[in-house]
Structure 1
Amino acid sequence: MACHLDQPGTAHAYRWCAGWLAVVGEYHLAIRLALAFDILPGHAVKPRSNWPRLYASLDALLAARAEQLRAPAHD
């Protein structure tokens, strides 16, 4: 899962999504191996206190986003 902050053509061209890592990363075989071999630090799969809300699945995220878009704008 790629990060929405990726910057193609730079040193940060393609990064893993931190939210995805925090929600499902430890269950993904490649991530588990990266953690086991110290390629990825353990804190990379832990959400930080200043992050936005994380969702258990992409479907849950999309449903919440659709609800946000339907909500009336506040002045």
Structure 2
Amino acid sequence: MLKALVILPERAAEAVAAAERLVELSSEQLAVSQEIVKGLDLTGELPHALLKRLVRGQSEIRKVRASFKGFATPSN
């Protein structure tokens, strides 16, 4: 079961900005993943630069998701 988080009112704008950043990063991850699939279909090779972008993006997503802990308090 997922626990709900209550965003503190004074941090709401920051939380929304973080959520928007997650959407941007997720969209970038999708685009990179689609490039990887297309490249694998055409050449059977995985370009190192795309793999690095994928890993870097995932790291950034983890950081932004972790920031939500600072914006919220667990509800009971």
Structures share fold, TM-score greater than 0.5? no
Asked which structure has the greater CA Rg, the reply is 2
More strand by share: 2
More helix by share: 2
Q: Calculate the TM-score normalised by the size of structure 1.
A: 0.30
